[in-house]
Amino acid sequence: MDGKRVVVGVSGGIAAYKACTVVRQLAEAGHEVRVIPTESALRFVGAATFEALSGHPVQTGVFDNVSEVPHVAIGQQADLVVVAPATADLLARAVAGRADDLLTATLLTARCPVLFAPAMHTEMWQHPATVANVATLRQRGAVVLEPASGRLTGTDSGAGRLPEAEEINTFASLLLERSDALPHDLAGRRVLVTAGGTREPIDPVRFIGNRSSGKQGYAVARVAAQRGAEVTLIAAHTAGLIDPAGVEMVHVSSAQQLRDAVSKHAPEAHVLVMAAAVADFRPAQMAQAKIKKDTPDNPDSTAAPTIELVRNDDVLAGAVRARADGQLPNMAAIVGFAAETGDEHGDVLFHARAKLRRKACDLLVVNAVGDGRAFEVDHNDGWLLAADGTESALEPGSKTLMASRIVDAIAEFLHGHDC
Catalytic amino acids? 210
**In Å, how far are 41, 107, 251, 277 from 116, measured between CA atoms?**
15, 11, 29, 34
- Measure the CA–CA gap between 316 and 387, rounded to whole angstroms: 15
Phi, psi of 281, deg, nearest 5:
-135, 155
- Measure the CA–CA gap between 135 and 145, rounded to whole angstroms: 11
Collapsed DSSP state (helix, strand, coil) of residue 320: helix
Count of residues making up the chain: 419
Phi, psi of 94, deg, nearest 5:
-65, -40
- 388 marked as binding residue: no
- 293 marked as binding residue: no
Collapsed DSSP state (helix, strand, coil) of residue 389: coil
- Measure the CA–CA gap between 271 and 247, rounded to whole angstroms: 15
In 10 A of CB 364, how many CB atoms? 25
- Measure the CA–CA gap between 44 and 166, rounded to whole angstroms: 21
- Measure the CA–CA gap between 19 and 6, rounded to whole angstroms: 13
In 10 A of CB 97, how many CB atoms? 9
Q: Which amino acid is at 390?
A: T
* CB-CB contact of 351 with 367 (8 Å): no
* CB-CB contact of 97 with 5 (8 Å): no
- 337 marked as binding residue: yes
For the annotated binding site for CTP, the residues are: 280, 290, 337, 355, 359
For the annotated binding site, the residues are: 280, 290, 337, 355, 359
